[in-house]
Structure 1
Amino acid sequence: MSAPGFLRPPRLPPGSRVAALSLSSGFVTEVMGRYHAGAAQVAGALGWEVVPAPNALRGPEYLYAHPEARADDLHWALTQPDIHGMLSIIGGDDSIRLLPHLRPDLVRAHPKAFLGFSDSTVTLLHFLRAGVMAYHGPALLADLAENAGIRPFVLDGLRRALVQAPQPFDLSPAPEWSEARVDWADAALQETPRPFAPGDGWEWLQGTAPAEGHLVGGCLEVLDMLCGTPGWPAPELWRGAVLALETSEDVPAPTQVGYWLRSYAAQGILAGAAGLMLARPRGYSAEMKAELYAWVRRVLAEAGRPELPVVANVDFGHTSPQLTLPLGGRARLDPGAGRVTVWP
């Protein structure tokens, strides 16, 4: 079940050919060992063949100078009949420069699954604005090239969101998590597992009654860049949505997150929202988390939404392992049951 107006892309079963896209940073050419490890792990675990788009491996200097070439890669992947889906190689900070070159008509005419996070928020919202579901989840160089193999939690989420026949499923807290940095350029480390800490579960910040709506969201820093541009969703796309919001490795202060949320309140987005999911914030201490959650409650009270269901510390975004969220698909938050259900 998807929200009215959103097309669901076809599934990506084993044997699918998936285009790898550098829509932001061209950094991948500096860590090609990591790229090949990710492609091999995707092939082994999911049966997808990863195919680099024509400009994806042309290097950071070229791709920085030619945002139109990055957009061309997206359009190439959409229109090639033997390409069945697309995934982001890695994020960055300037996908917003693609906006003048993007063609929503091609997204709508050739609906295919797109997977990514972080700066891919620009592309994810481009799909939603075109009326096509998109998938907030792992990038090739991140969770898909995870040291010593893709974590089972990631694979389970990908299969339910993108591979298996669509049916509602419950999200669950990750049994472990990590934000440990690894030198991706050191091929000798690829088979050495990173340290992971035991999972610490979700936190329900407020709300008692279940609520349901279509998923919209992404990285808050990128959303802040998009606000006021042609890439910003129209009010009707926000209305009735469950917002899924995450922060990046830039570690924005809790106060800054509160200010961003006040902007959402001023635009009427919080007044019309069905619920809120907050990702586990990368780089936050326990004290910073407590301050963040206090800011969230404060801004929602200011917006007249003290009853809005809010679940925090959810595993999507800039920590690992991460869930795959079907943006444009339905989500149901049930605070009493401690349950989140999505329709991919």
Structure 2
Amino acid sequence: MKFVKPPRLKEGDTVAVLSPSRGLPSRYPQVYELGLRNLEAKFGLEVKEFPTAREDKDVLYNNPGMRAEDVNAAFRDKAVNGVIASIGGDESIRILPYLDSKIIRANPKVLMGFSDITTLTTYVNQLGLVTFNGPMVMAGFSQIDSLPTGFTEHIRQILFGFEPPYEYATFDFYSEGYPEWAEEENLGRVNPPKMISGWNWLQDGSLVRGELFGGCADVLEWLKGTEFWPRSDFWQGKILFLETSEEVPGPLRVKRWLRSYGIQGVFEKIGGILFGRARGYTDAQKRELDEAIVSVVAGEFGKPELPVVTNMDFGHTDPQFIMPLGARAEIDSKNRRFRLLESPVE
């Protein structure tokens, strides 16, 4: 499958903001509105709010078709250049049967979110389009002034275009979660910063290149066994990236999830595995997770030569790398380097 890249964003472009998952903008409007202002002020984008954006959370929960129609409408709208989710949740999988694959496939544009939005980025990627696992309005854009300045430039490079290759580099610090949103003084803030210890290269292999695929591991589990899960031949040559949610699934659970990839033959086909920084883990749990990954990939499925890197800067900690599903990337174990070989936008 050759993935179609969306047009690159430019200052003055319009991005649709909608709520395909949980309706938190109606509960925390100040957090949501700060994210909108930052999209406009930091990147020169125009924001077009779609009907679900501020809809009540119970209304959204009871109407998955309504949420899907906003996605369809955003892709149908010729004035819209990108689609960014307001926030995640835990049941956006319910909107997938209502999505219009023909409309979406015919109108490639930047689509970005993470966590529960993994269902949507996966669905659209399986239609043959490049999608983006990255920050959302209320989780990333709202807090951008509390994060390293390099994060703003990173977003601009990935979504507005760069001259390849693009080498990913760790940020100055990271943070896990946000102080209570209901308290006005916490607006735009993140929890206390933590030092970055670097990536863990668990298994070295040859230099590998392939198209990225992945997202929140918890959410991908819900897609397994459905018509929306990738076919067996899809995995050939891919680089799989996974990260865990704020619900902090333990190393044993992740180990069991990985076994299901192994039994599907995924480890025989892919070029490498990348893991995002595990939010909420102690140092001991992080070591246990690394051991669990190696025990499954190398021990149970006999792939000690498969490159595996963990503790990377994507997922449920801030700031996070934008990971474009369908873009060609490279893992260079010898030089401890991960980079994009092509711009994910045209």
State the TM-score, normalizing by the size of structure 2.
Answer: 0.95
Runs (4 or more) in structure 1 with deviation over 3 Å come to 147-151, 191-194
Could you tell me which amino acid in structure 2 is paired with residue 318 of structure 1? H
Q: In the TM superposition, what whole-angstrom CA distance separates every residue of 1:46-69 from its partner, at most 9, and x where no partner exists? A: 111222112221110110000001
186-195 or 302-311: bigger deviation: 186-195
Q: In the TM superposition, what whole-angstrom CA distance separates every residue of 1:249-297 from its partner, at most 9, and x where no partner exists? A: 1111101101000000001111111011100000001111111111111
Confirm or deny that 1:311 pairs with 2:309: yes
Q: In the TM superposition, what whole-angstrom CA distance separates every residue of 1:181-216 from its partner, at most 9, and x where no partner exists? A: 312232332255642122211110002311111000
Contact 1:212–1:274 (CA under 8 A) maintained in structure 2: yes
Deviation at 1:35, TM superposition (A): 0.9
Determine helix, strand or coil for the equivalent of 2:192. coil
Structure 2 residue aligned with 1:140: 137
Could you tell me which amino acid in structure 2 is paired with residue 293 of structure 1? D
1:241-252 alignment to 2 at 5 Å? Answer: 241-252=238-249
1:90-239 alignment to 2 at 5 Å? Answer: 90-146=87-143, 148-149=145-146, 151-165=148-162, 167-190=164-187, 194-239=191-236
Q: Distance in 1 between matches of 2:286 and 2:69?
A: 40
Confirm or deny that 1:79 pairs with 2:114: no
Go from structure 1 to structure 2 and tell me whether the alpha carbon gap of 1:27 and 1:192 turns closer, same or farther (over 3 Å shift). closer
6-15 or 152-161: bigger deviation: 152-161
Match of 1:10 among 7, 14, 33: 7
- Number of matched residues? 341
Deviation at 1:24, TM superposition (A): 0.6
Determine helix, strand or coil for the equivalent of 1:307. coil
Go from structure 1 to structure 2 and tell me whether the alpha carbon gap of 1:184 and 1:280 turns closer, same or farther (over 3 Å shift). same
Match of 1:337 among 335, 338, 341: 335
Q: Distance in 2 between matches of 1:113 and 1:147?
A: 20
Confirm or deny that 1:30 pairs with 2:27: yes
Could you tell me which amino acid in structure 1 is paired with residue 207 of structure 2? P
* Structure 1, unpaired ranges of 5+: none
Deviation at 1:22, TM superposition (A): 0.5
Determine helix, strand or coil for the equivalent of 1:217. strand
Structure 2 residue aligned with 1:325: 323
Could you tell me which amino acid in structure 1 is paired with residue 186 of structure 2? L
Contact 1:13–1:164 (CA under 8 A) maintained in structure 2: no
Go from structure 1 to structure 2 and tell me whether the alpha carbon gap of 1:172 and 1:69 turns closer, same or farther (over 3 Å shift). same
How many percent of aligned residue pairs carry the same amino acid? 38
304-313 or 232-241: bigger deviation: 232-241
